[in-house]
Amino acid sequence: MRDPAVEIRDAEEGEIGLLARLWYDSWQDAHATIVPVELPKLRTVERLEERLAAMLPSVRVVNLSGEPAGLCAIKDDELYLLYLSAKARGSGVAAALLADAETRLSQGGVAVAWLACAVGNDRAARFYEKCGWHRVGTEFKQLDTPNGTFPLEVWRYEKRLS
Where along the sequence are the contacts to ligand COA (CB under 6 A)?
26, 29-30, 82-84, 89-90, 94, 117, 121-124, 126-127, 130
What is the closest distance, in whole angstroms, from the C-beta atom of residue 129 to ligand COA in the complex? 9
- Given the complex with ligand COA, which of 59 and 124 has the nearer CB atom? 124
What is the closest distance, in whole angstroms, from the C-beta atom of residue 82 to ligand COA in the complex? 5
Contacts 24+ apart (CB under 8 A), 8-13: 8/60, 8/61, 8/62, 8/63, 8/96, 8/97, 8/100, 9/60, 9/61, 9/63, 10/57, 10/59, 10/60, 10/61, 11/52, 11/56, 11/59, 11/60, 11/61, 11/71, 13/53, 13/56
- Given the complex with ligand COA, which of 16 and 155 has the nearer CB atom? 155
Instruction: State the DSSP string of 13-60.
Output: GGGHHHHHHHHHHHHHHHHTTTS-THHHHH--HHHHHHHHHHHGGGEE
- Given the complex with ligand COA, which of 15 and 114 has the nearer CB atom? 114
- Given the complex with ligand COA, which of 30 and 59 has the nearer CB atom? 30
